[in-house]
Amino acid sequence: MKILITGGTNGMGKGVAKVLAGIDNQVHEIIILGRSEKLGKDVIKELAHTVSNKKISFILCDLTKLSDVKNAILEIKNKHDFLDGIFINAGLGYASKRVETVDGLDSHFQVNYLSQFMLTLNLLSLLEKSLNGGRIIFNVTEKGKIFWDDLQMMHKWNYEDGIQQAMVAKRMFLAKLHRLYRERKDLKLSFIGFQIHEIVWSNQLNIIPTFMRIMATIMKSLGRFISIEKCGEIMTPLFTENKEDSLKKSGKLITWKKNSFINIKEDLNVLEQELQDRLWKISLELCADEKTNHIAMNLYN
């Protein structure tokens, strides 16, 4: 399988990259997309050394910039004829204040959702060329709501609402992609929302304030966290399973319980087509990119 992982330089993304790189006689090829060239090189070196997988590459892309996303799309398309899977994972976590991106958007909204909306739409054509059933796994949680009157959270901001709004946006996006492909009677691709069942001990622990880190360390000693490698072990079957098993999960929000994947009941607002269409339209307007708009329009035909 050839899998693109956004945010594969740390945390859950790195956990999935590490496990995928080491299994099945190192047959899987992994493309890591990240904002730090140094971290990218470090991961490639680490995986070549620890699991002897040399088929790991890096695409530099800062998701706070739509111009970077456009360059990354070009680079991926120049280097690859197909993809078997994408892990939509990169995300900002804790922040002490609202940060606006160069594109004038709330950074959680852009990094965790909008830039990856644009990336996904532009890479669907590569996934459609997969011989193994192209799939996109979205790293999501079940909570949150969309602040329709203040999407960029200019009037009332806190980082948790920012993260959770992006989670809902990703779930609406995957539900809409699932619907569009099924309306076209096209059963090529799967779009799956996955919620990890435990908190993962990720790089976020190095970013949060000291008092939060102390609390987290206490919780860790009580066994309340899982490692990025454990997270990778749980998630890798979603990337390697056969097309039929992947298609059965498409359009669903799932999690891991008692050693199997189970469905979570999706919020009715997320499944509301009118709301999905509203967010889709706003997202395309914010991308302001002719090519992305063209791809989106063609999905209706």
Ligand X SMILES: NC(=O)c1ccc[n+]([C@@H]2O[C@H](COP(=O)([O-])OP(=O)(O)OC[C@H]3O[C@@H](n4cnc5c(N)ncnc54)[C@H](OP(=O)(O)O)[C@@H]3O)[C@@H](O)[C@H]2O)c1
Q: Which residues bind ligand X (CB under 6 A)?
A: 7, 9-13, 34-36, 39, 61-64, 89-93, 111-112, 139, 141, 163, 196, 199-200, 202-204
Q: Count CA within 13 A, CB hemisphere, residue 105.
A: 23
Report the nearest approach of ligand X to the CB of residue 230 (Å).
11
- Residue 4 or 200: the one with the smaller Cβ distance to ligand X is 200
Report the nearest approach of ligand X to the CB of residue 38 (Å).
9
Q: Count CA within 13 A, CB hemisphere, residue 283.
A: 28
Backbone angles phi and psi of 182, in degrees to 5: -70, -35
Sheet of strand 260-264: strand arrangement: 56-60, 29-34, 2-6, 85-88, 135-139, 190-195, 253-257, 260-264
Report the nearest approach of ligand X to the CB of residue 127 (Å).
20
- Residue 133 or 175: the one with the smaller Cβ distance to ligand X is 175
Q: Which pair of structure tokens corresponds to residue 161?
A: 């609402």
Q: Is 185 exposed, middle or buried (0-12, 13-18, 19+ CB in 10 A)?
A: exposed
Residue nearest to ligand X (CB): 11
- Residue 132 or 195: the one with the smaller Cβ distance to ligand X is 195
Give the CA-trace dihedral at 163, 166, 170, 171, to 10 degrees: 70
Cα–Cα distance list, 126 to 2, 55, 81, 122, 129 (Å): 11, 18, 6, 9, 5
Q: Where are the alpha helices (DSSP H) in 32-158?
A: 37-50, 66-79, 107-108, 115-128
Report the nearest approach of ligand X to the CB of residue 11 (Å).
2
Q: Which pair of structure tokens corresponds to residue 116?
A: 């990856």
- Residue 181 or 239: the one with the smaller Cβ distance to ligand X is 239
Report the nearest approach of ligand X to the CB of residue 129 (Å).
25
- Residue 73 or 133: the one with the smaller Cβ distance to ligand X is 73
Report the nearest approach of ligand X to the CB of residue 65 (Å).
8
- Residue 202 or 292: the one with the smaller Cβ distance to ligand X is 202
